[in-house]
Structure 1
Amino acid sequence: MKRKAIVIGAGIGGLSAAIRLKSEGWHVEVFEKVTSLKKTGAGIVLAANGMKALERLGVAGEIRAMGKKVGKAEIRTWDGKILFQLPTKEMAERYGTYSYLIHRASLQKILLDKFDCNGINLQKRISRFFQDKSKVTAVFSDGSAVEGDVLIGADGIHSTIRANLIQKDKLRYAGFTALRGICSFQDERYVLQQGGGFEAWGHGKRFGFSHLGQNRIFWFAAINSPEGREIPYGARKQAAHQHFKGWYNPIEAVIEATDEEAILHHDIFDRKPLSHWGSGRVTLLGDAAHPMLPNLGQGGALAMEDAIVLADYLSNTKDIESANFKYERERIKRTTKMVRHSRKMARMVQMENPIATSVRNRMLQAVPSRVMAARLHWVVGYEV
């Protein structure tokens, strides 16, 4: 008789776990609270470690076809002076793959197709769970329930599973808010064939620009701001123009090329790293376990790494509790380091003081690109 996995959340981590467990012979059901899996979100970068995870899931080819390689990765000042460039070609040769940028909805669709949408249950908001020595039961807000051998909480930064496991666990505001947009745009300095783009860093704000695939540009703006200051639809394009007026060309032009309805706005949060994130037959993965700030571009990759490691442990033993514990012990050191490093990096890239930013910029300009690449090896050189 097949063992059964209950996965809460049909995002990147949940679908990755479902794919991997299904390939190992498990019966998997995925439960998602939304009414439909809409094509929402923005761009997501997949560095070499993420691409290696996607190879394990059997979909790396589809990502390369629908996304766009990061052939250029520049960091500039707000007015366009180069601070450093990552040696993307040399890094691709070292790790066997370029980084890729793809629309989050496209990545989710690829994973959904790999898993088989028939295993997805929509409009299922989990309210609680309980377990004993032989099974775990998830109870949903509509009164229905399902039993399984393991319950995997992949329900994101606002995870209900996490809230049931860990009390008094608060979100931590990053100190900055984000605008994200997608548009069609061309610039002869950042050609489609090469892919990639740049980030420009100012005082308490920065702007990123990169090819997304399918002839589109993804951009983001990170702006220091008090928590909860909403920028409503209809005012987001204007706000972006105000914050980045006079910045490095093509920033103003790409904002102007973006439709108002294509601009998203979110405050940015993480949570304090945990010393443990599971109990018995229940465990967490991805943002439910270790939500982090987006400065390293590793949220999606870490969720896929989690999913593969967890599925491998679960499939190599009949002791579910032991498998969950081993998975947690293997993953917690890397993910904790990533959460802390992402927050440390946020302090550096969102500096407001002009003197401090000037010192930062001079220090970065003095570091050879190969040294910068070497400092990222622990992040992107990992193979799950």
Structure 2
Amino acid sequence: MNRKAIVVGAGLGGLSVAIQLKNKGWQVEVFDKATSFKSMGAGIVLAANGMKALERLGVAGEVKISGKKVGKAEIRTWDGKILFQLPTKEMAERYGTYSYLIHRASLQEILLDKFDGAGLHLQKGVSGFLQDESKVTALFTDGSQVEGDVLIGADGIHSAIRANLILNDKLRYAGFTALRGICSFKDEGYGLKSGGGFEAWGPGKRFGFSHLGQDRIFWFAAINAPEGKEIPFGSRKQAALHHLKGWYPPIEAVIQATAEEAILHHDIFDRKPLSQWGSGRVTLLGDAAHPMLPNLGQGGAQAMEDAIVLADCLSNSKDMAEAIFKYERERIRRTTKMVHHSRKMARMMQLENRVAIGFRNLMLQAVPSDILASRLHWVVGHEV
């Protein structure tokens, strides 16, 4: 009889582990509290390690078609002066692939198609679980129950599975809030042919501009602000324009080109890394296990790396608790380092003190681009 996995969360990590386990002969059921999959969302960058994970999942080709390669990656000052450029061509030659940017909803749709929909259940919120030596039982808010051999919490930063495993585990505010939008926009300096884009850094603020594929631009603004200061629908474009008035010319224009209803607003959080994610037949992956700030662009890639390693460990062992222990030992050191480095980068990127900013900018301009790229090797050069 095939072993059965219960996956909670139909995001990138949940669908990835479902695909891998299904490919290895498991019966897989995926549960998500959402009523439907919305097209709203933001762009997601997939560096070489993320693309290698997608190759393992069998969908890298579809992502390259739907997304856009990152042919240009610049960091500028708020008024447009170059701080450094990543050698994207040389990095692509070294790692065998360019980085790609894609709409998160498009990537989710690609993964859903690969999973083939069978075993996917929406409107299924989880209230908890029970387990013994022979099985684990997921408990749902509608009163239903499902039994399986393993339960995987892939239900994001506000994970219900994590809440049932770990007590008094609080979110950590990053110190900045984010406005994000998608629009159609053309600029000769950042033509669609090359792909990619830039980030511009100013005092306590930064702005990112990237080609998303299908003639669309994804942008974000990260702004130092107190936690919980809501920017409501109808005021978000105005807020972005206010904070970025007079910045590098494409910035105000791309914000103006974005429909108000297409602008998202979220405070940014992570959690303190854990030394253990699961217990017995239950474990976590992706943002449920190790939510990180977006500064390394690795949230999605790390979820997919988790998924591949977990599927391999579970399929190579008859003892679920032992397999989960092996998975956590293999993944926790890398993801913990990601969480720490993402937070460290946030402090550097969101500086407000002008003297500190001047020193940072001089240091970045003085370091050759190949040296800066080599410092990212541990991130993007990894293959699960």
Identical columns (%) = 81
**In structure 2, what is the equivalent of residue 134 of structure 1?**
134
How is 1:1-384 mapped onto 2 (pairs within 5 angstroms)?
1-384=1-384
Runs of 4+ in structure 1 over 4 Å off: none
**What is the number of equivalent residue pairs in this alignment?**
384
Deviations along 1:237-271, whole A, 9 cap, x unmatched?
00010000000010010011001001000000000
Residue 30 of structure 1 aligns with an amino acid whose one-letter code is V
- How far is the alpha carbon of 1:116 from its aligned partner? 1.2
Shift of 1:38: 1.4
Q: Which amino acid aligns with 1:162?
A: R
Deviations 1:174-232 (A, max 9, x none): 00000000000001111101000000000000000010000000000000000000000
After alignment, is 38-47 or 204-213 more displaced?
38-47
Task: Report the secondary structure of 2:53's partner residue.
Answer: helix
One-letter amino acid matched to 2:223: I
CA–CA separation in structure 2 for the residues paired with 1:119 and 1:245: 49
Q: Residue 317 of structure 1: CA displacement?
A: 1.1
Deviation at 1:40, TM superposition (A): 2.0
- Aligned partner of residue 91 in structure 1, secondary structure: helix
d(CA) in 2 for partners of 1:203 and 1:358?
A: 10
The TM-score with structure 1 as length reference comes to: 1.00
| Cα displacement (A) at 1:335 | 0.2
Q: For 1:268 and 1:275, how far apart are their aligned partners in 2?
A: 23
Q: What secondary structure sits across from 1:143 in the alignment?
A: coil
Give the CA deviation at 1:7: 0.0
Conservation of the 8 A alpha-carbon contact between 2:40 and 2:262 = no
Offset of residue 137 of structure 1: 0.2
Q: How far is the alpha carbon of 1:118 from its aligned partner?
A: 2.5
Corresponding residue SS for 1:266:
strand
> Structure 2 CA distance, aligned partners of 1:111 and 1:201?
34
SS in 1 for 2:188: coil
Instruction: Calculate the TM-score normalised by the size of structure 2.
Output: 1.00
| Gaps in structure 2 of 5+ consecutive residues | none
Q: What is the distance in 1 between the residues matched to 2:14 and 2:362?
A: 42
Query: 1:301-320 CA distances to partner (integer Å, 9 max, x unpaired)?
Result: 00000000000010011110
Counterpart secondary structure, 1:276: coil
Partners of 1:58 and 1:128 lie apart in 2 by: 33
Distance (Å, rounded) in 1 between the aligned partners of 2:90 and 2:260: 38
Distance in 2 of aligned mates of 1:79 and 1:119: 51
The secondary structure found in structure 1 opposite 2:248 is: coil
CA distance in structure 2 between the aligned counterparts of 1:122 and 1:37, rounded to whole angstroms: 9
Distance in 1, matches of 2:135 and 2:214, equals: 45
The code of the aligned residue for 2:282 comes to V
Separation of aligned partners in 2, 1:9 and 1:198: 32
